[in-house]
Amino acid sequence: MDEDAYARLTAYFDHFKALLDKDTQSAKEEVMTDLENRIAELFDQGIGGASYRVVNLGLVTRVVEQLGMPDGSKEPETFTSDKASEEREEARTSDNPQNGGPDFTYSGGSGTAKRRLFRDLDNKVIGGVCAGLAAFLNVDLTVVRIVTLLTLLLYGTGFLVYLVLWIVVPVAKTPADKCMMRGFEPTAENMARFSGQRRNGYGK
Residue 76 is classified by DSSP as P
Kindly state whether residue 62 participates in binding another protein, applying the rule CB under 8 A.
Answer: no
Distance CA 158, CA 22 (A): 64
Distance CA 200, CA 108 (A): 12
Distance CA 1, CA 47 (A): 11
Kindly state whether residue 10 participates in binding another protein, applying the rule CB under 8 A.
Answer: no
* Among residues 143, 146, 150, 188, the one that binds another protein under rule CB under 8 A: 188
Complex with another protein: residue 66 or 138, whichever CB lies closer: 66
Kindly state whether residue 69 participates in binding another protein, applying the rule CB under 8 A.
Answer: yes
Instruction: Report in angstroms how near the CB of residue 163 gets to another protein at its nearest.
Output: 26
Q: How many CB atoms lie within 10 A of CB 66?
A: 10
Distance of CA 151 to the CA centre of its chain: 34
Complex with another protein: residue 70 or 158, whichever CB lies closer: 70
| Residues whose CB falls within 8 Å of the CB of residue 31, separated by 6 or more in sequence, listed in order | 20, 23, 70
Kindly state whether residue 89 participates in binding another protein, applying the rule CB under 8 A.
Answer: no
Kindly state whether residue 147 participates in binding another protein, applying the rule CB under 8 A.
Answer: no
Contact code string over 18-57 relative to another protein, x by CB under 8 A: --x--xx--x--xx--xx-xx-xx--xx--x---------
Instruction: Report in angstroms how near the CB of residue 196 gets to another protein at its nearest.
Output: 3
| Residues whose CB falls within 8 Å of the CB of residue 60, separated by 6 or more in sequence, listed in order | 5, 8, 9, 12
Count of residues touching another protein (by CB under 8 A): 32
Of the candidates 85, 76, 75, 77, the residue with the CA atom closest to the CA atom of residue 6? 85
3-class SS at 85? helix
Binding residues for another protein, per CB under 8 A?
16, 20, 23-24, 27, 30-31, 34-35, 37-38, 40-41, 44-45, 48, 66-72, 173-176, 188, 191-192, 195-196
